A and B are shown apart, each in its own frame.
Chain A
Amino acid sequence: MSSVTTGLPYADRFPAIVTALPGQGVPWLRELREGAFARFARLGLPTTRVERWKYTNLNPLTKATFEPALRNGQAIPSEALADVLPAETAAHRLVFANGAFRGDLSQVGRLPDGVTLESLGAALARGADALAPLLEHAARSADNPFFALNTALMADGCVLRIGRGVAVEEPIHLVFVAAGGDGAPAYHPRNLILAERDSRAVLFESHVDAGGGTYWSNPVTQVTVEDGAALEHYKFQEEGPDAFHIALTAVEIAARGRYDSFVLTSGGRLSRQEIEAVLDGERSECRLIGGYLARGRQHIDNTTEIVHAKPHTTSKEIYKGVLDEQARAVFQGRIVVEKDAQKTDGHQLNRTLLLSDHAEIDTKPELEIYADDVKCSHGATAGELEESALFYLRARGLDESAARRMLIEAFLADLGEDLPHAAARAALERRVSDWLTAI
């Protein structure tokens, strides 16, 4: 097969690795994992000849030798991790170290009745049959090798259910801490988020690095937003400089449901954030806001697909980023409007600021429209800081670096303006300001 590269991770060691995973004694789970691994082996890792991977070369990933990280994560001392935990939320926090749930670092306050929150590892070990349909579904991702690999090797993650009509005021925060150390750990967290009818919740997701070194995080997050429910989902990807982060977030939104996504990527050597959102009920809405900040030889890929499957659905998408030195970014934004999805409203914008002649953005908007009464638009720009604006600020006494920082912050300002949650806005501002101190 032309799309398969050599050096498939774990290919010969899968049988040994899988026996150590939680719930392996449960027949449906064992079959699910084996089937998924066979699919992964068949699909292989995509090369740049695969259209959806055209601009992201996975060679660096295939060159590293990864170790399964389950035990490793349990053994990392708490002190090494506590320092890097993000401060923006405190009420409900689940911490995972190299993918493994760490009760000693987690802290979950009183949740309203009707909300259940537990680690996937515990649920799988129990043989939670109710999860089977969720783990098996996501047919749209069937040809995604990283989804298949995640299903084959998932060991832990978060299972969250917001019961019907329940509103959770305090954010629920999932923190994935990595500690590379000796050997390059790989982990495949699976998060299952269910927002039942008319519920409301705010989810934070952070990926931070405690120990440096090479590692690979391959998270899959499946989100279901039922009728009239609303979920805000804020993700901050701040992996270490040698890390690989390849993430898939798959979302289904039912009638009058609303999903607000924000993703800020500033970490990792090579990262891909894929979001698939299906507007599967009338008057459902989704908003995907994204920011990317890269320097050095970082590579950041944001690939999104929004499917308008039903009439009167609305999507808004804004991705903006700043690239310095030899950094590269990719934005692929696909909007599909199915035949029945009349009165669809879909808008997409991608803007990139290039601070160096060697930085590069590949941007590819894609509109596929099968309905005839729709309003869709897309736009993409890439450019440098404006000389006239820089001069204006300097002519008022700001030194060049302060002027550049002010203009970069201004460029990114509208990402934060629309974020409903104050803690998320503050978290964004702090990260942008931290990133800029190195300019």
Chain B
Amino acid sequence: MLEVKNLHVTVDGKPILKGLDLSVGAGEVHAIMGPNGSGKSTLAYVLAGRDGYEVTEGSILYQGRDLLELSPEERARDGIFLAFQYPVEIPGVATTSFLKTAVNAVRKHRGEPELDAMEFMKLMREKRNLLGIGEEMLRRSLNVGFSGGEKKRTEVLQMALLDPKLAVLDETDSGLDIDALKVVADGVNALRSPDRSMVLITHYQRLLNYIVPDRVHVLAGGRIAKSGGKELALQLEKEGYGAFVAKAAESAGAAA
């Protein structure tokens, strides 16, 4: 599904990712854990195609295609979904009509018929009930006046509507209390399927109690410092990132 090889990325001329390798198979859930500043969000943005994240070396293959050639909208239509750490508030854009536009842009690309208002509302009702999102919330402007939890739930709702093949969830657990976290995690778990892969980016192990990953990777100093099964997360929770950060600094020093 996703093959990242020796990925080097600079932001404003500053190297952030320095030779990252990652391989995610179909239907797998991978967790990327790491301290602040290790490059987690950079990885998320590079996968989604944000301007200003310059790939200086390496490659990303998605379903066997060169992902880096595609614009953000092409990636989205081809099944990549990024759940934002900080969903952008856009006053004046009605949430429902935005979601309908997005769903139909993706459907059109897949050669599926576009949904009319009635069909869309039916789909929406089905998905939002799953996440406990009230109709009232969707009448507001996109993310405007939403609490942290409401924003994250709406991200997962968008994911459910857009039906991606590869979902990247960037700190979807941050800023959530335990009840909100359960709702969001249940929503994500309901979307797990053999033909949908997920990359969970998180600072804390907590999320992984609810969404159990197949693989866990530690990102430190712009590279994957260690990979393992779900038990690696528990080890990190106990021991912290200190050892990895020190090692990353060491190898960077050696490389220099």
Chain A: residues with CB nearer than 8 A to chain B?
386-389, 391-400, 402-403, 406-407, 409-414
Contact B92 A396 (CB under 8 A): no
Contact with A along B73-107 (1 / 0, CB 8 A): 10111000110100110111100001001100110
Q: Say whether B158 faces chain A, with CB atoms less than 8 Å apart.
A: yes
Q: Is B187 close to A, CB under 8 A?
A: no
CB pair A397 B76 closer than 8 Å: yes
A394 CA / B90 CA spacing, docked (Å): 13
- The answer on a CB contact under 8 Å between B48 and A402 is no
User: Are A391 and B72 also in contact (CB < 8 A) when A397-B106, A397-B109, A397-B162 are?
Assistant: yes
- Contact of B101 with A402 in the complex, beta carbons under 8 Å: yes
Bound-state Cα–Cα, A406 to B75, Å: 20
Task: Provide the B217-230 mask, 1 if CB < 8 A to any CB of A, else 0.
Answer: 00000000000000
**A397-B73, A409-B93 given. 13 additional CB < 8 A pairs?**
A391-B51, A392-B88, A394-B72, A395-B76, A397-B77, A397-B102, A397-B162, A398-B102, A400-B73, A402-B101, A403-B73, A413-B91, A414-B91
Residues of chain B with a CB closer than 8 A to A399's CB: 71, 73, 105
Among B76, B90, B98, B102, residue most surrounded by chain A Cβ atoms (within 10 Å): B90
Shortest distance in angstroms between A384's beta carbon and chain B's nearest beta carbon? 14
A413 near B106: Cβ-Cβ < 8 Å: no
List 10 A-B pairs, Cβ < 8 Å: A391-B51, A392-B87, A396-B98, A396-B162, A397-B162, A398-B102, A400-B71, A406-B93, A409-B93, A412-B92
Those 7 A-B pairs whose CB atoms lie nearest each other, nearest first: A410-B92, A413-B92, A397-B105, A397-B76, A396-B102, A394-B72, A392-B88
- In the complex, what residues of B have CB within 8 A of residue A392's CB? 84, 87-88, 90
Contact B87 A394 (CB under 8 A): no
Question: Across the interface, do A410 and B91 meet the contact criterion of CB distance under 8 Å?
Answer: yes
Kindly state whether residue B39 has any CB partner on chain A within 8 Å: no
Which of A391, A394, A397, A410 meets B93, CB within 8 Å? A410
CA A398 – CA B106 in complex, angstroms? 8
Give Cα A399–Cα B87 distance, bound, in whole angstroms.
19
Pick the contact of A391 from B50, B81, B105 — CB < 8 Å?
A: B50
Q: Which residues of A contact B109 (CB under 8 A)?
A: 397
**With A397-B109, A398-B101 given, is the CB distance from A388 to B93 under 8 Å?**
no
Residues of B within 8 A of A387 (CB): 51
Task: Name the distance in Å between B82's Cβ and chain A's nearest Cβ.
Answer: 5
Closest B-chain residue to A410, C-beta based? B92
Q: How far is the CB of A424 from chain B (nearest CB, A)?
A: 18
In angstroms, how far is the closest chain B Cβ from the Cβ of A28? Answer: 52
Known: A389-B88, A391-B51, A392-B87. A398 touches B105 (CB 8 A): yes
Q: Are B71 and A394 in contact (CB under 8 A)?
A: yes
- The complex places the Cα of A406 from the Cα of B51 at a distance, in Å, of 19
Bound Cα distance A413, B142 (Å) = 13
Is B213 among interface residues, defined by CB-CB distance under 8 A?
Answer: no
Q: Which residues of A contact B87 (CB under 8 A)?
A: 392
The answer to the question of B34 belonging to the interface, with a C-beta cut-off of 8 Å to chain A, is no
Q: A395-B82, A398-B101, A406-B98 are in contact. Are A388 and B73 (CB under 8 A)?
A: no
Instruction: Give the residue of B72, B81, B88, B162 whose beta carbon is less than 8 angstroms from that of A388.
Output: B88
Residues of A within 8 A of B105 (CB): 396-399, 402
Residues in B whose Cβ lies below 8 Å from that of A394: 49, 71-73, 76
> Contacts of A402 on B, CB cut-off 8 Å?
101, 105
Q: Provide the bound-state CA to CA distance between A403 and B90, in Å.
A: 12
Nearest residue, chain A, Cβ from B91: A410
Interchain CB contact under 8 A, B77 and A395: no
Nearest B residue to A392 via CB reads B88
Residues in A with CB closer than 8 Å to B91 are: 410, 413-414
Chain A residues in 8 Å Cβ range of B90: 389, 392-393, 407, 410
Do A409 and B92 have beta carbons less than 8 Å apart? yes
Closest CB in chain A relative to B109 CB, distance in Å: 7
What's the least CB distance linking B70 to chain A, in Å? 11
CA distance A414 to B158 in the complex (A): 25
Taken together as a complex, chains A and B put the C-alpha atoms of A391 and B101 apart, in Å, by 15
The complex places the Cα of A413 from the Cα of B140 at a distance, in Å, of 13
Q: With CB as the reference atom, state the residue of chain B lying closest to A387.
A: B51
Q: How far is the CA of A412 from the CA of B81 in the complex (A)?
A: 29
Bound Cα distance A407, B90 (Å): 8
Chain A positions within 8 Å of B141 at CB level: 410
Q: Which residue of A lies closest to B161 (CB)?
A: A396
Residue of A nearest to B101 (CB): A398
B118 to chain A, nearest CB (A): 21
